[in-house]
């Protein structure tokens, strides 16, 4: 999800650039100034509360701002991303934005600063005053708005500098030139956004096959906890020896062990453009853990696939796999196969619900050949990839 905030003094050109960026990236535009002016025009109580402050060139309270931003964000649940103009304007609002985006399991991609001198701002706003009809476009009020900007808004830059997502562009150039510079920055930042896929489904549903295909297609790192554990057992490592019995029975390995393994593999791939997780998360607790692990690298789950298959088909497939070299120890006996399927039903379904609630879940019919299943995955995966960028 692409979320951009345009930052700069009044008159820096945020509105003009917003229009271009919004069209290019199909973003939902949130201009707190426009929303407040609309509230005033409609005579709402919120508008009435804001009117005198705006007319004096002051900043409206953070309480009012959080209400209007939250309303706008929650009324656009399918937005491919947001473009904020005139927000955040205070340190408190920077925290508010963090919280609101976190609630949507996303974050700000970049804050773009259009840098203009106070003299240039004043000149532009006085010019705009001739046609804008805005009650706050008078010289005295403009000066107060610029003072508010200097004292309360400009320091917010530090918040984003610390996060490494603050980018400055000289706002004195031509509209086209500035737009090109902004696009370059966005393009570079988008390349850094990881595409993380979680594959869910019962054992035997074909997750491994499709996970590898997804990893290959999008140049992602494939992480299968089952295969990591198998490797540890093969190496007879300390972890391997601890988990051998548990794995043989088809039971779940304790979270502490799995987290360490996943974290090790994530750290081993600092240049990855994303990960495909198979076999993890398996419980609701692990779903929260994965969010935490990805948060550490400034990322999140982008897309979740639940591959569904009839139970009889699953048993047949696992039984057949048990007779090949690809077998897992728990594929060898029908009773362990059934035990694992039962375990899955009990524990893993809340994980499906977890991602469903976040609107990140796509259910796929897992019957047929791997190619047939892939043909059902291709389109939703492509859409998710585009959404993530």
**How far is 337 from 335, CA to CA, in rounded Å?**
5
| 121 touches ligand AMP by CB under 6 A | no
Q: Give me the least distance between CB of 162 and ligand AMP, in Å please.
A: 20
For residue 109, the minimal CB distance to ligand AMP (Å) is: 19
**E strand or H helix at 223:** strand 221-224
Indicate which single residue of 8, 10, 81, 206 sits in contact with ligand AMP (rule: CB under 6 A): 10
- Distance (Å) of CA 99 to CA 66, 80, 94, 262, 297: 10, 18, 9, 27, 18
Residue 324 CA neighbour count, 13 Å, CB half: 6
CA dist 60 → 66, 202, 228, 316, 387 (Å): 11, 52, 54, 65, 33
Please tell me the distance from the alpha carbon of residue 25 to that of residue 379, in angstroms, as a whole number.
20
Q: Does 262 bind ligand AMP (CB under 6 A)?
A: no
User: By CB under 6 A, which span of 57-65, 98-106, 120-128, 338-346 interacts with ligand AMP?
Assistant: 57-65
Asked whether position 32 contacts ligand AMP by CB under 6 A, the answer is yes
- Check: CB of residue 206 under 8 Å from CB of residue 366: yes
Return the number of the residue (143 or 327) whose C-beta is nearest ligand AMP: 143
Question: Helix (H, G, I), strand (E, B), or coil: what is residue 42?
Answer: coil
Q: How far apart are CA 280 and CA 89, in angstroms?
A: 40
Beta carbon of residue 86, minimum distance to ligand AMP (angstroms, whole number): 3
281 binding ligand AMP? (CB under 6 A): no
Q: Are 15 and 31 in contact (CB under 8 A)?
A: yes
Binding mask 123-162 for ligand AMP (x = CB under 6 A): -------------x--------x-----------------
By rule CB under 6 A, what count of residues binds ligand AMP? 17
Site for ligand AMP in 58-97 (CB under 6 A): 58-60, 65, 86-87, 89, 93
- Work out whether 8 is an interface residue with ligand AMP (CB under 6 A): no
Q: Which residues bind ligand AMP (CB under 6 A)?
A: 10, 32-33, 36, 53-54, 57-60, 65, 86-87, 89, 93, 136, 145
């Amino acid at each position: 999800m692409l979320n951009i905030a345009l930052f700069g003094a009044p008159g820096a050109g945020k509105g003009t650039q917003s229009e271009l960026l919004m069209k290019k990236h199909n973003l939902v535009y949130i201009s707190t100034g426009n929303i407040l002016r609309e509230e005033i025009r409609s005579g709402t109580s919120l508008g009435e509360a804001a009117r005198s402050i705006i007319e004096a060139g002051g900043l409206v309270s953070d309480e009012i701002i959080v209400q209007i931003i939250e309303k706008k964000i929650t009324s656009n649940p399918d937005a491919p991303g947001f473009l904020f103009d005139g927000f955040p304007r205070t340190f408190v609002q920077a925290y508010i934005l963090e919280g609101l985006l976190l609630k949507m399991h996303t974050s700000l991609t970049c804050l773009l600063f259009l840098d203009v001198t106070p003299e240039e701002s004043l000149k532009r706003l006085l010019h705009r005053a001739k046609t804008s009809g805005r009650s706050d476009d008078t010289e005295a009020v403009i000066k107060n708005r610029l003072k508010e900007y200097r004292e309360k808004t400009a320091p917010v830059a530090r918040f984003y500098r610390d996060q490494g997502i603050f980018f400055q562009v000289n706002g004195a150039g031509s509209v086209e030139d500035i737009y090109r510079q902004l696009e370059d920055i966005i393009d570079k930042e988008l390349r850094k956004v990881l595409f993380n896929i979680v594959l869910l489904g019962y054992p035997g549903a074909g997750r491994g096959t499709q996970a590898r295909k997804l990893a290959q297609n999008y140049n992602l790192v494939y992480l299968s906890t089952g295969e990591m554990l198998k490797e540890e057992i093969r190496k007879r490592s300390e972890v391997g020896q601890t988990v051998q019995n548990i794995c043989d029975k088809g039971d779940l390995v304790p979270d502490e062990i799995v987290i360490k393994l996943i974290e090790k593999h994530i750290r081993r791939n600092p240049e990855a453009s994303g990960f495909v997780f198979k076999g993890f998360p398996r419980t609701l607790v692990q779903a929260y853990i994965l969010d935490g692990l990805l948060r550490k690298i400034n990322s999140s789950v982008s897309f979740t696939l639940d591959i569904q298959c009839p139970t009889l088909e699953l048993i047949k497939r696992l039984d057949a796999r048990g007779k090949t070299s690809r077998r897992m120890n728990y594929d060898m006996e029908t009773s362990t196969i059934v035990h694992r399927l039962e375990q899955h039903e009990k524990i893993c379904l809340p994980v499906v619900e977890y991602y469903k609630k976040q609107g990140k879940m796509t259910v796929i019919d897992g019957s047929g050949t791997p190619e047939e299943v892939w043909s059902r995955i291709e389109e939703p995966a492509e859409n998710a990839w585009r959404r993530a960028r």
